[in-house]
Chains A and B, each alone.
Chain A
């Protein structure tokens, strides 16, 4: 409280001194100012759980980095914006790049958003490390030879792995197959990849019914009835959201899970909802890039799983790993580039160069970026089992495949690549 003129002048002088002092050290402070990482995370609709999972992986990475002294000595500060429709998300991306002046922006789940954000990242020369969102058709045309955008793993990688496992597991045991996939490019691409691989492996299967419920559907009783009518030996589904447990629940009630085999490429994204009560043993199920109970789990994954379980009362899923990877890859690239630049903070271009071909330890093991800016990762899939301590299914044995095996190489079409396999 300023009570008279004399104290007021004292306070003023003190404030001036403080300001002066701060001005003096300003250059040093600028060096140690926090690194701003912008994050685009979905918070509404079908992708909300995925966005939430990505944010958890991001938070875990940033907490660890800050506890260990930050990136090249600078603490990390997160600025989270919502991923919604392409138009609004592009605006938020611009805001993060221009107004927040984020050093790097991570995130993005929906490909519609990715296709819109990619060109803007190039235009603004703003470094963008996508979690997902850049896997589908149109990416080659919209973001050709990206310089500032780094892309996720191909859409079909999970279907490719699951199909190889299915061929191994069910060869000679299945004659008819059916597909139930969401009616958009992810679902359609996965089903097409599955059929192509079945053919390549000489499985001689006939597709008897193809069902395309829209994304977000929560009632599959009609679809299950159609499946019952068609009596396929195997049902292939790339459902990844709340629809996966609902489908299995309704299929189980209709008696479909007793005789029919299932391939669930991505149900591991909602693994805790895949209860034993209705998910059969012997199905092939994929966890994308992170399996929380991987037998060869690194100390890092164990620590993360424990942190996740204690904090959220849930076991983690893959989007945490994508998000974690983008942060640690950025840190490694900056530190590598900074070393090369003699200890100075690298320019965005120097960071980009360091990111190309980088490999770091992520939650799921070693992960990296190819020189064409596409992620490399390990994928976890296996055969469902009820023998565990949970009320939901897990997989045993666990198969691990690198995207070096299950993702098409740079510059090749998916089907040309599949046809070139020697099996």
Chain B
């Protein structure tokens, strides 16, 4: 069960990035998985570098978070590229962001090589608890950010009606850059934080994209609460399936996806604010 919650926590972070970007920018960002993989690799490098530089081992979670946040700097660059397709058909978004997935895979291979990367010592217990414990603060923080701050009000206004927000003097392109960077940060921090429990491997991103989409379908596109619920459902369904009837591990998730699509096509929390 703990395993399921751990997996759910990781899924939540990536799915939350996906939700945020879709909610505001209406972009289906397949590259969210790549940010996750990039975060994982950067996390390994950062911790190894910090340890080599003589940093005390207990601060490694901070190093990981730092690596994830630092990496979010790729956000504005990618957002610049996405600007060309804001007003175009969704298939262009999927094509472009999928191209990014492939390109990032090559970038990772070029920078880190093909062998799996991991931390030299097993910090697993920290990793599981920390990532698991992170969901609620992140969820609360996102809620606070979106509901109570000026930035959040602007973001929500933009998400609601871009034209009107613009007419009211909101610099929409700046909002987009910030929102996208925040979305990237959720992915990269998620990736960096799983590192104690696993190893960074090249294909880890692609794998997660599929599951993150299952989460989004279950929870409802664009909803933060949906991301939490969807991630928990997917994570726990998998854990239960593996424990009881391992053959249906993958099937179980998609049965839920289909059930949601049939009974509540918009997802469980489709009406909630982004």
Give me the interface of A with B, judged by CB distance under 8 Å: 43-46, 48-49, 52, 209-214, 216-219, 221-226, 229, 241-243, 245-246, 249-250, 252-253, 270, 272-273, 275, 277-278, 314, 391
Contacts and interface: CB of A to CB of B under 8 A. Distances in A.
27 contacts: A43-B109, A44-B105, A44-B202, A46-B201, A46-B202, A48-B114, A209-B246, A210-B246, A212-B247, A216-B203, A216-B204, A219-B6, A219-B194, A221-B7, A221-B197, A222-B7, A223-B3, A223-B242, A225-B3, A226-B246, A242-B199, A242-B202, A250-B124, A253-B122, A253-B124, A273-B118, A391-B120
B201 A218 contact: yes
B207 interface: yes
B239 interface: yes
A65 B73 CA distance: 48
Which are the 5 A-B pairs with shortest beta-carbon distances? A221-B3, A253-B124, A242-B116, A242-B201, A49-B114
Nearest to A251: B124
Contacts of B109: 43-44, 48
B53 interface: no
Contact of B198 (A210, A218, A391): A218
A124 to B, nearest CB: 30
A42 B247 CA distance: 29
Contacts of B199: 218, 242, 245-246, 249, 273
B203 A49 contact: no
Contacts of B225: none
A127 to B, nearest CB: 28
B116 A270 contact: yes
A241 B201 contact: yes
Given A212-B246, A214-B250, A272 B115 contact: yes
Contact of B2 (A45, A211, A221, A245): A221
B122 A222 contact: no
Nearest to B240: A222
Size bin of chain B's contact surface: 35 or more
B129 to A, nearest CB: 11
B151 to A, nearest CB: 33
Interface string B102-119: 100110010001111010
Given A249-B124, A275-B118, A218 B204 contact: yes
A224 B113 CA distance: 28
A226 B1 CA distance: 10
A222 B4 contact: yes
Contacts of B116: 49, 241-242, 245-246, 270, 273
Contacts of A243: 201
A46 B203 contact: yes
Interface string B1-31: 1111011001000000000000000000000
Interface of B: 1-4, 6-7, 10, 102, 105-106, 109, 113-116, 118, 120-122, 124-125, 128, 194, 197-199, 201-204, 206-207, 238-239, 242-243, 246-247, 249-250
Contacts of B1: 225
Contacts of A314: 115
A242 B109 CA distance: 14
Contacts of B4: 221-222
B114 A221 contact: no
A211 B7 CA distance: 17
A43 B105 CA distance: 10
Contacts of A216: 201, 203-204, 206-207
A298 B121 CA distance: 34
A242 B246 CA distance: 21
Given A221-B6, A242-B115, A249-B118, 10 more contacts: A46-B203, A48-B202, A49-B114, A211-B246, A212-B246, A218-B204, A222-B4, A242-B201, A242-B202, A245-B116
A295 B92 CA distance: 57
Nearest to A224: B3
Contacts of B198: 218-219, 246, 249-250
Nearest to B242: A222
Contact of B118 (A45, A219, A245): A245
- Residue of A214, A229, A249, A275 with most chain B CB atoms under a 10 A cut-off: A249
Contacts of B3: 219, 221-225
Contacts of A211: 242, 246
Nearest to A313: B113
A233 B185 CA distance: 43
Contacts of B239: 221-222, 225
A213 B249 CA distance: 8
A158 B252 CA distance: 32
B252 to A, nearest CB: 11
B67 to A, nearest CB: 18
A229 B243 contact: yes
B18 to A, nearest CB: 18
B2 A225 contact: yes
- Residue of A213, A222, A314 with most chain B CB atoms under a 10 A cut-off: A222
B10 A222 contact: no
Contacts of A272: 115
- Residue of A212, A253, A273 with most chain B CB atoms under a 10 A cut-off: A253
B201 A277 contact: no
A212 B120 CA distance: 27
Contact of B197 (A217, A249, A273, A275): A249
Contacts of B106: 44
A246 B247 CA distance: 21
A77 to B, nearest CB: 25
Contacts of B246: 209-212, 223, 226
Nearest to B7: A219
Contacts of A277: 120-122
Contacts of A270: 115-116
A221 B128 contact: yes
Contacts of B105: 44
